[in-house]
Amino acid sequence: MTAASTTAGRELTGTVLRLPRRRPDGGVDLVEHAVHARVDWPVPTAPATSRRAFAAAHVVPRTGSETVPGAPADLDWDATLAVRHHLWDLGLGVAEAMDTAQRGMGLDPAATAELVRRSASEARAAGARIVAGAGTDQLPPGRHDLAAVTAAYEEQVARVEASGAQVVLMASRQLAAAATHAEEYQQVYARLLAQAQGPVVLHWLGEVFDPALAGYWGSRDVAEATASFLAVVRENPAKVDGVKVSLLDAEHEKALRRRLPAGVRLYTGDDFNYPDLVLGDGEFHSDALLGIFAAIAPAASAALQALDAGDVAAYRAALDPTVALARHVFAAPTPHYKAGIAFLSWLDGRQPGFQMVAGLHSARSAVHQAETFRLADEAGVLADPELAARRLRAYLAVHGFDA
């Protein structure tokens, strides 16, 4: 099946599962679901040219490691790097060491540094595109002054630059706690941009993804925060490749991209409205840096190929059916969307077990994950639906459901 074909009306495998479904009263029913045959998405020979797209990738813990809260991350490097090669093979760039990789939620600073080093080395060997997050999460608990926060940023920026990856200046919990007004944010970012070796990506992660980032850029009023954010970009346009905005507010994003200096990209982080934002309005469009692209990589790749060919219908046919899955995976509490990304990776056979560092594979219920499977099957993004069905059946049995 090509990207020009809709995923509707696909053949069935003959496998039928009984999936738990939540009732409005809180109870659970078992509902039959007929599993669809796989979609043979086209594989590109090169990255898309009409849009720049990065998938934010998750990490895979080593089988048998202590995946408990507070334990250092012990990664399965082969599986973790294989996930990145899967994305590169589909023509997507990789956004490394971002919140999808559990920054601030189990991925400790030592593991982060090694992850960036290894992934950047693999990207260089593959001739693939990679960006990597630089933050301040190596600072110990407690409040820090702006000088300490700036120094922590500088340390991580230098490490990412040394790896060969492009820098993403991540939103910092420590800066959010230390800065008292917009000018202090602007002071820190101006220093970092002045020192950067090349254009970076500025990351504005909203409090829906991380409550500790409430009031970032100096105000909880979005209009005031946007003015502060734009002041940083406009003062340093040559050092800003683009901005990644993750506020889940499509209208705000559309207005913001019209206000950016010429040549500065807007990388959407809106995992609810990405098909419209990436397509654009004929004058402005968003590029992509999305966690959901890791889960729907074959469809995202096919959609971008179609857009390169000017086939908007095929773009829509590939991408629109994935939106219901994305909205479910990123449903509140949104910070735990990573459990959906890792679950789909396991269903696809890309990791030996459904585990996450810090034990966060338990952050979503079995009922939620059964719906994740159903929506992924409907969207045609399961690499091997029969394998996924077998794994889901075993998973549900452990959780007390006879699928």
Task: Please give the average per-residue pLDDT across 241-267, as a whole number.
Answer: 97
Element (H, E) at 56: strand 53-56
| Furthest C-alpha separation in the chain | 62
CB of 53 within 8 A of CB of 242?
A: no
Query: Could you report the per-residue pLDDT of 317-357, keeping only the tens digit for each?
Result: 999 999 999 999 999 999 999 999 999 999 999 999 999 99
Nearest Cα to Cα of residue 346 among 56, 82, 97 = 82
Q: Which two tokens stand for residue 190?
A: 């101006």
Per the model's pLDDT, the better-predicted residue between 4 and 109 turns out to be: 109
DSSP string over 205-238: E-TTT-GGGTTGGG-SSHHHHHHHHHHHHHH-GG
The C-alpha atoms of residue 77 and residue 98 are separated, in whole angstroms, by 17
pTM of the entire structure? 0.95
Query: Could you report the per-residue pLDDT of 236-253, keeping only the tens digit for each?
Result: 999 999 999 999 999 999
The C-alpha atoms of residue 50 and residue 279 are separated, in whole angstroms, by 10
Share the mean pLDDT of the chain. 96
Per-residue pLDDT at 7 exceeds 90 = no
The C-alpha atoms of residue 259 and residue 382 are separated, in whole angstroms, by 39
* C-alpha pair distances (Å), 95 with each of 57, 113, 169, 253, 282: 6, 14, 12, 20, 27
The C-alpha atoms of residue 15 and residue 346 are separated, in whole angstroms, by 19
The C-alpha atoms of residue 244 and residue 8 are separated, in whole angstroms, by 32
Query: Please, what is the Cα angle at 202 between 200 and 204, to 5 degrees?
Result: 165
DSSP string over 232-260: HHHH-GGGEEEEEEESS-HHHHHHHHHHS
Domains of the chain (ranges, CATH numbers): 53-326 (3.20.20.70)
